[in-house]
Chain A
């Protein structure tokens, strides 16, 4: 009876002795980067996914027209295109593709692949969830909605194998930055068609062994919820400058498990550190804890169709009662107190509107008919069941303390949380938004009437007029000025209460090189190295 226990103990000890070299040490020898990636990608087809997790993997295997700069958010190094030019008002762009570039199977990579890719992404039959990202192209939206049937009417032209000409619906001075999003990446026409029709959704072209790519790495292995590994692409145009032999993406959902794995020497870099461990890690491993700005905002969405919340004075009172600095210092470690919605990006810095002013908040609430919070409706703040309850409780306490109003917290699972917001079946909801590219439009366009992400019941013709003016403004400075005016209007109305600009808190080992703070967090994998003696 005791024999199995003895066998188990002995084997455990034997195995324990085999654990001397950590996984990171072994990976250092092999020059393979071990990355905690938060979760498993839903898919690797750039036309079927919408998330950051997927983006992290896809940009290792596929490359767009313009690449990411390892050090600067506004740097636009060449990618599949070697150069590009535009007309005077930024409505026509010509990209010159790299002659001689190939896919990982040796097939030539031409402008026809890009044309095919845009055609596929916009085709109504594929129903690509991020097709909207291509709506900058003339007639792209109409084609995607089935209003026009002939793709030739869409502003994509291929004068020759290595030239791609895009005609846009409006001036877009920041187009190179937009093309760095994976929805603009090429897919290999010859491989996609080998596994099905252009618009077939369920094909096996992205499986290991099938997937052909044009990025610095190629897909090697993918075990669901376990690991996804990419390995060097010898046919990549800049293969000589790729420093890693491979990357292993490990989908660790639980941030405590991820931190433990990091500290146990199982990964080089992680996705996120739990906020309550930030101070401890800052003290113990200051060089390894990274806290960097990220292009995201945290806010409370208000249902402006609810009596009480339909009053801008009430909304502003709720906003001014929040001590954002205290919240960021105590709970949202590394985040910055937000005085507007859009975080600063490039030349765009919105006027500060909201801040902590409890006196003015109480005055506004009294003017709205709720002196000292008396008679204020009992609203509830909707959060995700797996979300940051601590933040919600802090907001709840601040509203109680500074306005004398009681707000309940209502936690729902992800599906119910989203559904409640989209059907306006909520009072207030804690939410966030991450920009897709570095332009204020990615934060402001969502608050237009009918936009599926608005979910506040609020809209303003003046606001939309300003956005429209900005869209048709060719001069970048004047365009940003229109956005500032629009954001000022939005903030004075407060259908949303921004409280923090996001940051990335993560751990990274010192031997990881070529990794610099970037607002979009798109660190080009080819620049990343493992620098061990």
Chain B
């Protein structure tokens, strides 16, 4: 077990190192630099700014300095936000992305799993067809369509929830963005749950249980849920990472001060430090989420546990 954990940890370090290196050189290969603006900054001033931000050094030197800075937990300052510490920006924005992601994940799971179970239990019924049609629509509709529609109807027309904005302490601001973000994932989860449940429901032990007269819902929830959830749970890890890192559209539509918007702006303005920090953070999240998923899958599936 310890060997496995160590192995996974070393793999993670290697992945993050490759990610860092590739991102750094890709960012530096982009045309222009961090001090491009509509109104050009005079050459002598730009040269001085580049000196102040350490951009006059050779590329390998810049790489080593930035790598060292990140390893020591001090990624330096943003060029776009005029010297503001990257850690300060991430510390303000990441909790918002995380909070939005958690609420969206809650929405996805609480809608997706019951819908999938119900569809499987009532296979080929109106409920099954209906819920899977809704799921398909959820998968097909991109969030930049769902988001404005929800904001328009529930925000502008009905005034139920704010049409934009975010407050950590005011849950009414969470609802619309979390539903928008969670819906697409709920649709996937419901389909995966349905498939997993149907697979489990076709097992011999279910037939035996039915023959013994165990009620249908009891079979579904007591005997099949654990096995039926495996495909959905395997998806939850990458989904969680995706939900946290991929909420840029939602952040823009609902004006949420998350990390995604900083990331996009940083790319536009070639702000290397502010690009690298979210890349590594999101990379770490994907690794961690996959690891947790693996553990959960092992817990749900005793056969896998034995073989591993």
Contacts and interface: CB of A to CB of B under 8 A. Distances in A.
A432 B93 CA distance: 32
B215 interface: no
Contacts of A276: none
Nearest to B44: A145
Contact of A1 (B38, B114, B171): B114
Given A42-B82, A225-B262, A15 B171 contact: yes
A240 B31 CA distance: 52
A441 interface: no
A43 interface: yes
A421 to B, nearest CB: 9
Given A252-B255, A257-B253, A416 B164 contact: no
Interface string A210-254: 000000000000011110000000000000000000000011111
B294 interface: no
Contacts of B41: 50, 129, 452
B156 interface: yes
A128 B156 CA distance: 43
Contact of A225 (B42, B46, B52, B257): B257
Interface string B32-67: 110111111111111011001000000000000000
A260 B82 CA distance: 31
Interface stretch (A93-101, A112-120, A263-271): A263-271
Contacts of A420: 31
B32 A418 contact: yes
A43 B254 contact: no
Contacts of B139: none
Nearest to B36: A418
Contacts of B160: 12, 16, 19
Contacts of B267: 413
Contacts of A19: 159-162, 172
A131 B44 CA distance: 11
A20 B161 CA distance: 10
B223 to A, nearest CB: 15
Contacts of A422: 36, 40
A266 B163 contact: yes
A4 B109 CA distance: 10
Is chain A's interface secondary structure helix, strand, loop, or mixed overall? loop
B36 A257 contact: no
A344 to B, nearest CB: 22
B152 A43 contact: no
Contacts of B129: none
A224 B171 CA distance: 20
A45 B82 contact: yes
Contact of B252 (A12, A49, A254, A452): A254
A11 B106 CA distance: 14
B156 A263 contact: yes
A261 B163 contact: yes
B221 A1 contact: yes
A132 B42 contact: yes
Contacts of B262: 224-225
B173 to A, nearest CB: 10
A264 B39 contact: no
A2 B82 contact: no
Interface string B231-262: 00000000000000000000011110110011
A149 B77 CA distance: 29
Given A261-B165, A453-B39, A4 B106 contact: yes
A5 B110 contact: yes
Contact of A452 (B43, B93, B166): B43
A533 interface: no
Given A48-B82, A260-B155, A414 B36 contact: yes
Contact of B37 (A23, A50, A431): A50
Interface in A102-139: 124-125, 127-129, 131-132
16 contacts: A11-B171, A15-B175, A16-B172, A19-B172, A124-B48, A129-B35, A145-B44, A201-B83, A202-B83, A257-B163, A260-B151, A260-B164, A266-B164, A266-B165, A415-B269, A452-B40
Interface of B: 30-33, 35-46, 48-49, 52, 77, 80-84, 89, 92-93, 106-107, 110-111, 113-114, 117, 148, 151-152, 155-156, 159-166, 171-172, 175, 221, 252-255, 257-258, 261-262, 267-270
Given A224-B257, A416-B30, 18 more contacts: A18-B172, A19-B159, A43-B84, A124-B48, A144-B44, A144-B45, A251-B255, A252-B255, A257-B148, A260-B156, A260-B164, A263-B163, A266-B162, A413-B268, A416-B31, A418-B36, A452-B40, A452-B42
The 4 lowest CB-CB distance pairs between A and B, nearest first, are A452-B40, A419-B32, A202-B83, A43-B82
